[in-house]
Each structure stands twice: as C-alpha cells, then as structure tokens.
Amino acid sequence: MTTTTTKPRGSQAAKAPAFDSAAIRSDFPLLQTQSHGKPLAYLDNAATSQKPQAVIAAAARYYTTYNANIHRGVYKLSVDATAAYEAAREKVARFINAPSEREIVFVRGATEAVNLVAATWGMENIHSGDEIVLSEMEHHSNIVPWQLLARRTGAVIKVIAISQHGELAMDHYAQLLSDRTRLVALTHVSNALGTINPIERIVSMAKARGIPVLIDGAQSIPHMAIDVRKIGCDFFVFSGHKLYAPTGIGVLWAKGELLEKMPPYQGGGDMISTVSFAGSTWNDIPHKFEAGTPHISGAIGLGVAIDYLGGIGMDAIAEYEHDLLMYATKQLNRIPGLQIIGTAPEKAAVISFIMENIHPHDIGTIVDGEGVAIRTGHHCCQPLMDHYNIAATARASLAFYNNREDVDRLVAAVEKVKEVFN
Amino acid sequence: MSDLRDLYQQTILDHTRKPRNKHEMPDATSTADGHNRLCGDKIRLFLKVNAGIIEDISFTGNGCAISTASASMMTEALKGKSVAEAQPLFELFHTMLTSPMDQEPDLEALNKLAVFSGVREFPVRVKCATLPWHTLQAAIKNQDAPVTTE
C-alpha cells in the first residue's frame, strides 16, 4: 500500500500512516471475535459487510438519546431526529456526487430501489413490445423486478452475453440497442465474478439513442469512488449494509426531473401533501417515495459509515483492495485443481472458484471449521451459473479490513479441504 | 466446531467418489426430480416398482459429498425392499439428523445409514442428506412437480 492520502481516518483521525490496516481492523468489533475457536477470517463481504464501532454507536445513540419520529413533531427530540435523518441524506448525496439531496430516496436496499423504479417509472414508460436490456451477470434483484414488469406490460427482456472471462460482450450490447429499447439496467460490479463493467461507455452508448440507464451499484459502492454525474446514468441504486452501514437501509438516486414525473411507490403517511376522500396530493421529492416511518437509525448509521469511509478515502480503499485481490488470486492459483471463475482484467475484490471433484458446499463447511467465512452457492445468479454450466461456486470477497493473513488462512483452509477429500 | 471427521466419514467419502446406482433407468416405473435451492443441487430419482417391491432404484444429478453419498447409500439400502418399508426408514433417518445431540438415534435399525449421524452437528447440511429421501417420497407418490428442500 503506497497511498499518500492525508485525510484523517474516521474515529482515529490524523494518525499516520495513511492506510493503517491494523488500526482499521480494530474499528470493527466483530473482527475481534472467534469462530469455532479460531480467529475469524471474514471473507463474505459481497454478501454483507461488518460494521465499524462508530456506526454501531450512532444507532445506539439515536435510540438512547433522541429516538423520535421525524418530519412531524414540534418537540426537540423529533427536530433532532429529523435533522440527523436529513443530514444523512445530504451525506449520501455528496458521497455519490449527486446534484441535490432531493434526488436521494431512502429505501430498504438495492432490491427495493430496483423494484421501486420498475413499479413506478417502468409502469409509466414501458409498454407492450418495448425492450429492457439486462446482462447475463445480473443478480436476481436486477432480473426479477423487470420480469414482473414485463409480465404486466408485455415488454421483452434482452440479455447481453458475457465472455468466458466474465466480461460483457460489448458488440452484442451494441446490437441489442434498438428503437424499441426503453431501458438498460446493469450491474456496475458482478457480485459473483467481480467484473467491473465499463459503465461510462455503456451509458454513453445508450444515451446516444436517448435510452435511460439504471446502474446497480450494490457491489461497486463499497469498493470505489462513485460519481453519478460522471457515470451519466439516470438511476443508481445501492444497499447500506454492504457499505458498512446497518441492514434495512438503501438508496435510490435518480435524476430530479425523473423523480418529479414518477408516480408514488407506496401510499401512506409522509408521502402526501394533502389527503381527502376526493383525492390526495403528493409530497415533494424525495418524500413522495418514502411512505411511512422510515429506517431512521439505519439512515443515520449510513451517514456515519460514509463519514468513516471518507476519513480513509475511497481511492485508498480501492488501491489497497486491488493489491489484496492480486495477492489472493496469485495464492489461490497455486493450488492444483482450483479454478477461478471470473478472470476479467478489471475486477473488484471478489474471487469465485471451483475445485475439481469437490462441491462448493463441502468447501464452505470445511473452511468454516478453520474460522474462515466464505459464501458458497449460486450467489443469486442462477443464469450466470448456467452460463458456466456449474451449479455453484465458492466465493471469497474482500474488504479493506481484510489482510494477507486472512488470505493465507483461506489458502490453508482450502488445502485442508483437499486433505479431507484425498 | 465438531470434528469434520464426524461429517466426512470414510464410508461417506467412498460413496461420494464412487456413487453406487448412479445411472438413468429407461424402464423406470416412476421418476422424480429434487432440488436444493440453497446450493443448487439437483437429483433425479428412478424407481422400478413391481408388486410393491423396489426391484431397482437409481439416481442421476450433481450434488455435494453429503447429498451424493446419501443418494448412493439410500439406493443400496432400499433395493429389494418393499415400498412400505421405505417410509419408516426415512422417518428414522430424518429423526437421526434432526434430534438433539443428547438423544441417541436408533443406529441399529439404520444399519449403514448410521454413518450420517454426524450431519446433525451441521444443521445447514441436513437438507443435503435428506434431499434424496424427499425425492424418493415424490417418486413413490409419482408426483410430476419437482420437490424442493424448502
């Protein structure tokens, strides 16, 4: 790690060196625990991330000192809670360089954000015979909402093929764009392969035809700096829990002019301006899309997670994780009979692998016994598994709090798997 | 963690490496498909039943060590037995996998299938061991719809 960022790091500001892996690890209480009597090597970050103490403390502080509902009370607690919730929205806007915090809609997670867009914008703008372009590497959460929409509207789903290395076939993508294409919905980073897709190019190709683009950023936002204006997309979605924040909070960013035109998603309190039995009118954006009491502590926690990451710097995180990915790839490739699935040149720190004659489920159980937590299965990407003609993979996904020792522990555990089966 | 050797016993590994009765059966009297959604494992079970007797039983598919060995050993345990005997054996097997650790399973009645007793220490793997048996039940009922472990 050679970064020379001078930004202070979250809870222990202004400590040198700039990227102190050991100090970062100590910020995460769960990483200090043991699993099966061994120190935990947590390598399932693509599923969910661990939380820094600052995030845990922020949620506890909300519940112990200013728990109240927001946007309604005139008393101090409610005013404080509202201010903290709305401050989190501003932090999210700055974090992804959104033009305005009015364009930040709090949802439960990336899944709900995609469903929101499909159910509102999709129902208004996509009609029978229209085409929605997805890719073969999408998570089920960026497939099924569009299938539901297609079933309701008669729209057609087109799928961008991928190469054996796990890269999008860009010529195929170019062919799929047609006068009937109404939306391109694509993942930024594949959760199962780690591939970083060239989304700026993808967006510009769609924009040349006036086609809106939704980017699923669930797997990219924890690993790199995101600038929605530079990307040029219309919708960007992500989950808080993969970004070191609580579960149950996520974000839909959409261009303001789109949000203004979109109908509400759910009806209820807070999303209305006036209600009468003759008819109701809607609140301003983004509140129009936030019916009912939201996940207040989750949003506050997300804001604190963003502060924490800001103290380290997303570019420093990306650089550190890339170095760790290169190391892990090299070490795993040394194991005979192990094959990495997803070998694109541009990758985030995700390594899916299979082993000759050993099922991923057995790999997962045996490495768990060594205190190493990895994911095994289809990773909610059954079409992708079909592409590779496999049922499942074992997947190690790294975060900036992982280190080479975690990787070495994984490698040793995989060697143990081979011992059991040989 | 309990010892992995409890889970991956030599008998189980032997059946994983060399599954018995793993082939299609063109003259099967009924078949059924089983699917474990957690790991994507799929199994197809073939039964040839004549006058209530399981004359032949086989399977195809891909699965983990536990589900493959379970399917292999199930076919060995049931070949030549009556359909009526299969259900109580499954119930014994299921009880062994789901009973509390301080409760002794009826290992004698289970005979060779007792090697799976270690699976109960790994709750997320119980479905791997029971998938072939759930699929068997579907085949006996001659259901067309795939069964799942959910």
What is d(CA B119, CA B98) in angstroms, rounded to the nearest whole number?
9
> Is A1 inside a domain boundary?
no
Q: What share of chain B is helix, strand, coil (3-state, %, to 5)?
A: 50, 20, 30
> Is A4 inside a domain boundary?
no
CB contact under 8 A, B40 and A385: yes
Span of A120-124, A128-132, A212-216, B110-114 with lowest mean pLDDT: B110-114
On whether both A389 and A284 belong to a single domain, the answer is: no
On whether both A104 and A212 belong to a single domain, the answer is: yes
One DSSP character per residue, A49-81 reads: ----HHHHHHHHHHHHH----SSS--SHHHHHH
Element (H, E) at B50: strand B41-50
CB atoms within 10 A of CB A37: 8
Contacts of A36 in chain B (CB under 8 A): 1
Q: What percent of chain B has pLDDT over 90?
A: 67
On whether both A235 and A355 belong to a single domain, the answer is: no
What is d(CA B133, CA B69) in angstroms, rounded to the nearest whole number?
12
Residue B38: what pLDDT?
73
Contacts of B126 in chain A (CB under 8 A): none
User: Cis before residue A286, ω within 30 degrees of 0?
Assistant: yes
* Mean pLDDT, rounded, for B42-60: 95
Contact status, residue A27 vs residue A50, Cβ threshold 8 Å: no
> Is B148 inside a domain boundary?
no
Residue A368: what pLDDT?
96
Best probe of the B interface among A35, A40, A356, A362, by most B CBs < 10 A, is A362
> Is A5 inside a domain boundary?
no
Residue B104: what pLDDT?
77
Residue A413: what pLDDT?
97
pLDDT at A93 over 90: yes
Best probe of the B interface among A38, A341, A354, A359, by most B CBs < 10 A, is A359
Contact status, residue B35 vs residue B147, Cβ threshold 8 Å: yes
Pairing type for strands A235-239 and A250-254 reads antiparallel
> Is B131 inside a domain boundary?
yes
CB contact under 8 A, A378 and B40: yes
Chain A: nearest CA to B82, how far in angstroms? 33
CB contact under 8 A, A359 and B13: no
Pairing type for strands A38-39 and A213-216 reads unpaired
Q: What percent of chain A has pLDDT over 70?
A: 96
Residue B146: what pLDDT?
58
Which ipTM value was assigned to this complex? 0.87
A365 half-sphere exposure, CB direction, 13 A CA radius: 25
Residues in contact with A199: Cβ distance below 8 Å, sequence separation at least 6, in sequence order: A186, A188, A215, A231, A233
Tokens of residue A23, six digits? 């100090």
Query: Which CATH number covers residue A324?
Result: 3.90.1150.10
Interface of B with A in 2-31 (CB under 8 A): 4, 7-8, 13, 16-17
One DSSP character per residue, A273-320 reads: EEEETTEEEEPPTTGGG--SS--HHHHHHHHHHHHHHHHH-HHHHHHH
pLDDT at A7 over 80: no
∠ at Cα A27 (A23, A31), nearest 5°? 100
Residue A212: what pLDDT?
98
> Is A2 inside a domain boundary?
no
CB contact under 8 A, B65 and A421: yes
* Mean pLDDT, rounded, for A344-368: 96
Q: Which residue of A lies nearest to B66 if distances are taken between CA atoms?
A: A362
Largest CA-CA distance found in chain A, in angstroms, rounded: 74
One DSSP character per residue, A117-166 reads: HIIIIIHHH--TT-EEEEETT--GGGTHHHHHHHHHH--EEEEE-B-TTS
> Is B41 inside a domain boundary?
yes
Contacts of A358 in chain B (CB under 8 A): 65
Which of helix, strand or coil describes residue B99? coil
Query: Which CATH number covers residue A61?
Result: 3.40.640.10
On whether both A128 and A155 belong to a single domain, the answer is: yes
CB contact under 8 A, B8 and A362: yes
Contacts of B44 in chain A (CB under 8 A): none
Rg, C-alpha atoms of chain A: 22
What is d(CA A293, CA A69) in angstroms, rounded to the nearest whole number?
7
Chain A: nearest CA to B97, how far in angstroms? 17
User: Cis before residue A17, ω within 30 degrees of 0?
Assistant: yes
CB contact under 8 A, A391 and B125: no
Q: Which amino acid is at A345?
A: P
- By a Cβ cutoff of 8 Å, what residues of chain A touch chain B? 36-37, 357-362, 365-366, 368-369, 376-378, 382, 385, 391-392, 420-421
Residue B133: what pLDDT?
96
What is d(CA A385, CA B113) in angstroms, rounded to the nearest whole number?
32
Tokens of residue A163, six digits? 């190469």
On whether both A90 and A204 belong to a single domain, the answer is: yes
Give the model confidence (pLDDT) of A10-22 as tens digits.
444 444 446 888 8
Query: Which CATH number covers residue B125?
Result: 3.90.1010.10
Q: Does B42 touch chain A (CB under 8 A)?
A: yes
> Is A75 inside a domain boundary?
yes
pLDDT, chain A, mean: 94
Which of helix, strand or coil describes residue A241? helix
Give the model confidence (pLDDT) of A223-233 as tens digits.
999 999 999 99
> What single DSSP character describes residue A17?
S
* Mean pLDDT, rounded, for B73-82: 96
What is d(CA A410, CA A141) in angstroms, rounded to the nearest whole number?
29
Known catalytic residue at A380 = yes
Helices B83-98 + B126-141 axis angle, to 10: 160
∠ at Cα A411 (B16, A244), nearest 5°? 110
Residue from the list B1, B38, B125 with its beta carbon closest to the beta carbon of A369: B1
> Is B146 inside a domain boundary?
no
What is d(CA A336, CA A42) in angstroms, rounded to the nearest whole number?
24
For residue A328, the enclosing domain spans: 10-51+313-421
User: Of A205, A380, A390, A412, which one is the catalytic site residue?
Assistant: A380
CB contact under 8 A, A385 and B39: no
Using the 3D structure, point to which of A310, A327, A357 is the last residue of a domain.
A310
Q: Does B121 touch chain A (CB under 8 A)?
A: no
Number of independent structural domains in chain A: 2
Chain A: nearest CA to B114, how far in angstroms? 20
On whether both A208 and A330 belong to a single domain, the answer is: no
Using the 3D structure, point to which of A290, A310, A330 is the last residue of a domain.
A310
Element (H, E) at A187: strand A181-187
For residue B100, the enclosing domain spans: 4-141
Number of independent structural domains in chain B: 1
CB contact under 8 A, B39 and A369: no
Element (H, E) at B88: helix B83-98
> Is B123 inside a domain boundary?
yes
Contacts of B6 in chain A (CB under 8 A): none
Helices B10-17 + B65-78 axis angle, to 10: 90
At A154, give phi and psi (nearest 5°). 85, 15
What is d(CA A206, CA B84) in angstroms, rounded to the nearest whole number?
63
Residue A106: what pLDDT?
98
Give the model confidence (pLDDT) of A148-160 as tens digits.
999 999 999 999 9
Contacts of A365 in chain B (CB under 8 A): 4, 7, 122, 124-125
On whether both A297 and A324 belong to a single domain, the answer is: no
> Is A3 inside a domain boundary?
no
Chain A: nearest CA to B81, how far in angstroms? 31
CB atoms within 10 A of CB A333: 14
Using the 3D structure, point to which of A310, A336, A352 is the last residue of a domain.
A310
Best probe of the A interface among B38, B39, B70, by most A CBs < 10 A, is B39
Chain B: nearest CA to A141, how far in angstroms? 16
A254 half-sphere exposure, CB direction, 13 A CA radius: 24
Residue A56: what pLDDT?
98
pLDDT at A8 over 60: no
On whether both A259 and A339 belong to a single domain, the answer is: no
What is d(CA B74, CA B81) in angstroms, rounded to the nearest whole number?
11
∠ at Cα B4 (A420, B8), nearest 5°? 60
User: From the centroid of its chain, how far is CA A407?
Assistant: 22
> Is A201 inside a domain boundary?
yes
CA end-to-end span of chain B, whole Å? Answer: 25
What is d(CA A186, CA A169) in angstroms, rounded to the nearest whole number?
13
What is d(CA A200, CA A186) in angstroms, rounded to the nearest whole number?
12
On whether both A37 and A153 belong to a single domain, the answer is: no
CB contact under 8 A, B39 and A377: yes
pLDDT at A55 over 90: yes
Residue A6: what pLDDT?
41
CB contact under 8 A, B40 and A391: yes
Chain B: nearest CA to A128, how far in angstroms? 32
Give the model confidence (pLDDT) of A232-278 as tens digits.
999 999 999 999 999 999 999 999 999 999 999 999 998 999 999 99
Residue B147's pLDDT band, with cuts at 50, 70 and 90, is: low
Q: What percent of chain A has pLDDT over 90?
A: 92
On whether both A87 and A198 belong to a single domain, the answer is: yes
Q: Which residue of A lies nearest to B40 if distances are taken between CA atoms?
A: A391
